[in-house]
Amino acid sequence: MLTVGGTSISLIALLQIVIALILVIIIGKIFKKIFKENILNKLNIDSANRETFANIISYFFGAILFILLLQYFGVNLSTLAVIGGGLGLGIGFGLQDITKNFISGLTLLFERPIKPGDFIEIENIKGYVTEISTRSTVVETQDGSEIFIPNSFFINHRFTNWSYNSFTARIIIPIAVAYQSDLVLVTELLLQSAYQESRVVAHPSPEVLLVGFGDSSLNLELRVWINPIDQEPEIRSNLNFIIEYLFRQYNITIPFPQRDVWLKNYSDVLENKNINISQEKNNQNHHHKSKKSIKDMLWEVDYFQDFNEIEIRKLIESGYRKNLEKEQILFKENEIGDTFYIILSGKVEVFVEKINKHLNYLKAGSFFGELSLMLGMPRTATVKAVEPTILFCINQANFRKLLMKNPELYDLIVNKLSERKNELVERQNELRRMGLIDKEEDDNNPLIWVRNRLKKLIT
């Protein structure tokens, strides 16, 4: 017989309490597994929520089962309260960490700063959360090992949940180029690199920043948003390979620290140097004749001829280059339109595939795709390349920004659309029938209606 606080407790009662606790732990784990795999799984609940719900329900079930077992063994619940009070001081010191981790585990389950399936980084360790138990959280690293982290660590320390809202996140690629580099061309090539990597998302758009002037280089950053973020090492490596390849194609130099050495008698050296420079310039000129940059091709478009380098660079930042092979289809009628296209070189055919009707040929300097963007309707025709063609593509968000900054382009688009008046009337009537035209923007003159629609798009 054991006396605690004036209350006598038999050893049998203590043994029954221990047995009840062991049974609760065993049955609770079995119940959690069955509940998660056979019930929650059939309800089509995602894996992260299944784990959370299963833990919470199993804790609740275990508490009720523990009380029922004690009553079944005939243990007075007041005895349990006495034991808890008598051992409170011992629990406070001896089981402090266990209690703290248990409470932290409950906090993680209810507040959900992390959940199973999340990709997290903690103390330079990146991995996936596979389980949140009563004492610890299991993280599977990218090399396949499993780390058990006490739950209290997530409450008391700073960590990064890369997939809290989604697996989309931004990464930064630092780049250094020589001082004599053409920064407009460098910007174009870096953005082209981003759009060539399929795991770089279009929204938000990639951007290039000039972040500083180094001792031997201009320092830039390519900032891109990627999905999924857990493939960041592979994506970063792939971007670096693409950047290196494009820089090599256009003779963009990645510099290294160097020192200048001055010679008193250097006439021979200077003569040889001038010969080398002349040869290098000839090679570069020949190279650039065969490989035109977007900057050069945009300057050949009538509207952009008066743009200076700063304005051209801003324009290049809003879009990307797309190459079409002969007979390659860009898009088909009835597809959703989300891109504005400017033809830099080559020629495309516009036709209605359904009735096999040719509509038009568009050459370098022409643009198309604006109607679907403005009206929010599917494409009205199919476009394919008649010959190898280079397009400059601008997505909807950047198209809106471009119009806001360049009202002259706004007028140019409206004037071009006036040549397609019959199509405008047809589309206007179709939108009216669907109830998708606001009274404020509607007008019997389709050109005035388009102007109002454009204003609505950019405000």
Q: Give the mean pLDDT of the chain.
A: 78
How many structural domains are present in the chain?
Answer: 4
- Distance (Å, rounded) from C-alpha 147 to C-alpha 156? 18
C-beta of residue 374 within 8 angstroms of C-beta of residue 399: no
pLDDT of residue 5: 45
Look at residues 288, 179, 283, 182 and name the one whose alpha carbon lies nearest to residue 190. Answer: 182
Phi, psi of 442 (to 5 degrees): -70, 150
pLDDT of residue 222: 96
Look at residues 182, 181, 202, 180 and name the one whose alpha carbon lies nearest to residue 191. Answer: 202
3-state helix, strand, coil in the chain (%, to 5): 50, 20, 30
- Distance (Å, rounded) from C-alpha 193 to C-alpha 200? 10
240 and 337, same structural domain? no
The answer as to whether 276 is a domain residue is: no
- Distance (Å, rounded) from C-alpha 196 to C-alpha 183? 20
Look at residues 337, 424, 341 and name the one whose alpha carbon lies nearest to residue 385. Answer: 341
C-beta of residue 294 within 8 angstroms of C-beta of residue 321: yes
pLDDT digits (tens, 9 = 90+) for 91-150: 555 556 666 766 777 777 777 788 888 999 988 889 999 888 777 889 999 888 899 998
Q: Model-level pTM?
A: 0.60
Burial of 152 (0-12, 13-18, 19+ CB in 10 A): buried
As given in the structure block, the two tokens for residue 429 are 């009537």
Burial of 84 (0-12, 13-18, 19+ CB in 10 A): exposed
79 and 223, same structural domain? no
pLDDT digits (tens, 9 = 90+) for 187-212: 989 998 998 888 998 888 899 999 99
Beta bridge partners of 140: 128, 146
The answer as to whether 13 is a domain residue is: no
156 and 137, same structural domain? yes
Beta bridge partners of 385: 348
The answer as to whether 275 is a domain residue is: no
pLDDT digits (tens, 9 = 90+) for 7-26: 455 667 667 667 777 877 78
Q: Give the position of tokens 């599977």.
A: 140
Express as a percent the part of the chain with pLDDT over 90.
21
Burial of 407 (0-12, 13-18, 19+ CB in 10 A): exposed
Listed range (13-22, 159-168, 368-377, 378-387) with the worst mean pLDDT: 13-22
Look at residues 323, 302, 384, 375 and name the one whose alpha carbon lies nearest to residue 350. Answer: 384
- pLDDT exceeds cutoff 80 at 296: yes
pLDDT digits (tens, 9 = 90+) for 219-270: 999 999 999 999 999 999 999 999 999 999 889 998 876 666 666 555 555 5
Tell me how long the chain is: 459
Q: What is the CATH number of the domain that holds 339?
A: 2.60.120.10
157 and 87, same structural domain? no
394 and 368, same structural domain? yes
Beta bridge partners of 147: 139
What average pLDDT does range 213-218 have in this prediction? 90
The answer as to whether 281 is a domain residue is: no
380 and 324, same structural domain? yes
77 and 136, same structural domain? no
The answer as to whether 7 is a domain residue is: no
Indicate the DSSP class of residue 206: P
356 and 241, same structural domain? no
The answer as to whether 30 is a domain residue is: yes
Q: What contacts 24+ positions apart, CB below 8 Å, involve 187-191? A: 187/313, 187/316, 187/317, 188/293, 188/294, 188/295, 188/316, 188/321, 189/243, 189/246, 189/247, 189/250, 189/252, 190/220, 190/222, 190/243, 191/222, 191/316, 191/317, 191/320
327 and 224, same structural domain? no
The answer as to whether 312 is a domain residue is: yes
Look at residues 375, 296, 371 and name the one whose alpha carbon lies nearest to residue 341. Answer: 371
- Distance (Å, rounded) from C-alpha 333 to C-alpha 120? 43
- pLDDT exceeds cutoff 70 at 176: yes
What domain range is 360 assigned to? Answer: 294-458
- Distance (Å, rounded) from C-alpha 49 to C-alpha 32? 13
C-beta of residue 104 within 8 angstroms of C-beta of residue 50: no
230, containing H or E segment: none
- Distance (Å, rounded) from C-alpha 8 to C-alpha 10? 7
Q: What is the CATH number of the domain that holds 128?
A: 2.30.30.60
Q: Which of 14-23, 97-106, 283-292, 329-338 has the highest mean pLDDT?
A: 329-338
442 and 422, same structural domain? yes
DSSP for 377-408, please give it: -B-SSEEEESSSEEEEEEEHHHHHHHHHH-HH
